[in-house]
Structure 1
Amino acid sequence: MSLQFQNASTRIDAENAQDPNSELFQSETFPKELLYSNRMYKRLMDFYPDASEEVQIAAKAQHICRWKMPRESYPMDRVGYLKWREDLKKFHAKTTASILQECGYNQKIIDRVSFLIEKKLLKKDEETQLLEDVICLVFLEFYLDPFVQKHDTEKLKNIILKTWNKMSEKGHQEALKINYSDANLQLIKDALGL
């Protein structure tokens, strides 16, 4: 692990630690986006330990400072949601690029990290696909359950199917190894027609 990466990682963590929103996990309270960042990085290293430094940074910074651009600040319809998602990607990429510049990374690496965070060429670029697999795996492992509490079965099946369709075959295999509740595993199987 390079000194540059350590510095960038520390800076990303420091930014995410400022999240005013918190999440309880294993009887401990964490800033929400710091916990997400740590989950992303751990899942990436478990899933693909040879990931490039650029992917590692992109995984850690995937939701950097997300609370600064709340969903409620956009129209609460499909168009508003899509615009919010698009603006978020650019915001995360720009915030991360600024940190990487301060840590002395060259422009080529900064541009590549931004490319990955903006999820460009999904299904065509191997590293973008790797990052998307990790995002989906983290969602299925840690964030599916809160969705189950909020949505009806048909909407949940649709969410699972959309998530599944973004993943690679290797991602699918990894997703089926996650330790789901019996109810969530059945929901996934029903959504996928397994």
Structure 2
Amino acid sequence: MTSATTPHDSGRMIRALSLPGLIRLVSDLDDHGPLSRRRGSLQAAFDDLTADQLRLALDRARAFGLVHGDADERVRYRLTPRGEGLADVYDTAARWARTHQYPQKESDFVTRVQRTLTLLSQTLATTGYASGTGEACGLPASGSAPLSHSAMADLNGPQSALTAWLQTGPSAPQRTKTSCRQTVDEMEPAA
């Protein structure tokens, strides 16, 4: 696979990265470290996700090279350097959203990341492939208050982080069916 090079590829990749289970998996592994092989530790760590949601998140994480596990180790899943980079992108997106109360003041981490990635995807679609120094184009924030000029200017931080991450790794796999009847590039809303 090659890095995302067109607005369409980038948009597809961003939608693929917006899965709530994937955001949770990557962020939790980044915050709390690797998961052990202890029976039930995976489902216990993500008890608010269904088995299908967790399976889809793990399948996507493996496909993107975000997690690694070795059968001979005590660790079941750990983030790869690429996964650590994505965790930084998620943190940057959530920090921007929290600072600008996007989409709402009381939004949770996953919703903040999802909505910021959606906004970035719209920005890429409008301006073409982001160079990492491109300026956000003043898109209206659907379903929330209009973004201020400073919020749009500050969006360059998450945009640069995401663009750099997209340029360093594989693109989104082609649409593939999953066991829970969703395609890889469909975005599931946060719970």
Q: Provide the TM-score with structure 1 as the length reference.
A: 0.26
Q: Per chain length, whose mean CA-contact separation is higher, i.e. which structure has more relative contact order (CA < 8 Å, sep 6+)?
A: 2
